[in-house]
Amino acid sequence: MLEFYPKSSYIEVNKFMPFVKEKFYIEEETIAFLYVMRTLNYTQGEAQRHIAKGRLLIDGESMTYTGAKIQGDVEMVFFRPKGTGVRPTFQNNHFMIFEKPSGVLVHPNTMATPYSMLDEVRTIAGDNANATHRIDMETSGLLLASKHKKAEHHLKNAFEKRTIKKSYLAWVDGKLAEPFTSTECIKVNNKGYDETKHKVFISDEGKRAHTDFVPLEYDAHLDATLIACYPHTGRLHQIRIHLFHVKHPILGDPIYGASFEASDAYLDMLQSEEDRLIQHGAPRLMLHAQSLEFVYESRFYIESKMDFVSQKSLIYPPEKRVFNKG
């Protein structure tokens, strides 16, 4: 029997959300994580995390001990994808490439997330398919997804070892005329967000980071430069903080290049459309994942088909936008 969460459940969702609660009957006593592995086709680690998150229920209550023995009626909460018909721009037997729109998450960040790219990935290739790298919600562009566990392991490992080369395009505030390199170390903000909403900082105490930047086009009317970005390391918000550090924040960035008050309003979803334009310069983060180059049996070089250059039409006039350039 399939049912969606009722309002009385421990988390409230609606019928459009991809997490469902399904009832199962276990005839013979079995260890909890083994049952989840067999039923949902999970690895041991995935099954244990599933239980630890409270997604196995007995008599309506979450149980979190993965080694417990269970029998009889149980309920499980799990992800059931609801694709919208988005197709990959390229695919083979091992992986798929999608064009992720700005504003869409790669993975659901809570069980209340109504839609993410994972819906499309698993609708097409099944429960063992997965996105293999992260892209910020407001960043658009190429997303590489595996079709099976072997491909997922291979591709994630390649990202970790930096053997997959990535490039991005960005529209930034102000004029940049010459290529440059940033090797500033990046430190994650572990001190809370009472004074700033920045997730990371430039700090000698941080981890090594390296990004090359090449200006491509300057629009004097918008006082904005289109630049190509080549990250050689994979730190959180690396491109964003490196550009903010040189006082050319990415247009539309709601965190770096914005006041505390503006960032706070954005994160609390209290910011009006007009304030978003005034305070951040664009209705979205003007960053785009442009290309991927990697080896999987053969060498692949894939470029985005989206015309990101024309996205400059979204940029607010310079005389009307406000920036905190640090």
CA separation (Å) from 140 to 118, 135, 145, 181, 213?
Answer: 15, 8, 15, 23, 18
β-partners of residue 201 are: 187
Tell me the two tokens of residue 105.
Answer: 């998450």
Handedness of CA 142, 147, 152, 154 (dihedral sign): negative
**Residue of 73, 119, 136, 204 with catalytic role:** 136
On the 0-12 / 13-18 / 19+ scale of CB atoms within 10 A, 148 is middle
Separation of alpha carbons 264 and 35, rounded Å: 43
Separation of alpha carbons 254 and 238, rounded Å: 15
Scored b (16 or more CB within 10 A) or e, 234-252 reads ebbbbbbbbbbbbebbbbb
Active site residue 73: no
CA separation (Å) from 194 to 191, 263, 271, 290?
Answer: 8, 12, 19, 35
Helix 44-52 vs helix 32-40: crossing angle, to nearest 10:
110
- Please identify every residue annotated as catalytic: 136
